[in-house]
Amino acid sequence: MVRQFHIARPRPDATPSLLRLVFHDCFVQGCDASVLLDSAEAEGVQSEKDTQPNETLKGFELIELIKTEIEHECPETVSCTDILVLAAREAVVLSGGSFYPLHTGRRDSSISFPEIALFELPNPHDGIIKSLFSFASRGFNEGEIRSFG
């Protein structure tokens, strides 16, 4: 169903936007869709989505459209987390990248982690040592980090 959505509504910016969105979600407390949660301004609660490292993220509206369509077909069945990772994977495949298997059944977080997003997401202006440490703290080795470049 996610693939059909991409085919029916092709967007040239979908692949990089969704990959970056997944990265920003998964780097902070694991893949839990917490990056999709909105701030609760009335309660003074900021979300990950509204922190400085995430200000330029795109793809939220695309995930919302896919979620709406899936909810229409199978209500309360597929998590936002699964929709996010599946949408990114399908965008990669449809843009000529390799298919990779994904396990589904992830649970969505009901809380956001703005402090972790603010201080632990890698900064593109960080030096190599800080970047290596940041990724190593999440289990990446030097070879895997090099593959990002």
Cα 103 to Cα 98: distance, rounded to the nearest angstrom = 16
pLDDT in tens, 8-43: 566 788 899 999 999 999 999 999 999 999 998 778
Q: Per-residue confidence at 114, pLDDT binned at 50, 70, 90?
A: very high
Query: Are the C-beta atoms of 33 and 80 separated by less than 8 Å?
Result: yes
109 assigned to a ligand binding site:
no
Residue 119 pLDDT more than 70?
Answer: yes
Mean pLDDT of 81-93: 94
Of 134, 89, 104, 112, the residue nearest 35 (C-alpha): 112
Cα 148 to Cα 132: distance, rounded to the nearest angstrom = 12
Q: Domain 2-112: state its class.
A: mainly alpha
125 is catalytic: no
Tokens of 23: 């990265």
Mean pLDDT of 71-75: 92
Please tell me whether the overall predicted TM-score, pTM, comes out greater than 0.85 for this model.
yes
Domain boundaries, the chain: 2-112
82 assigned to a ligand binding site:
no
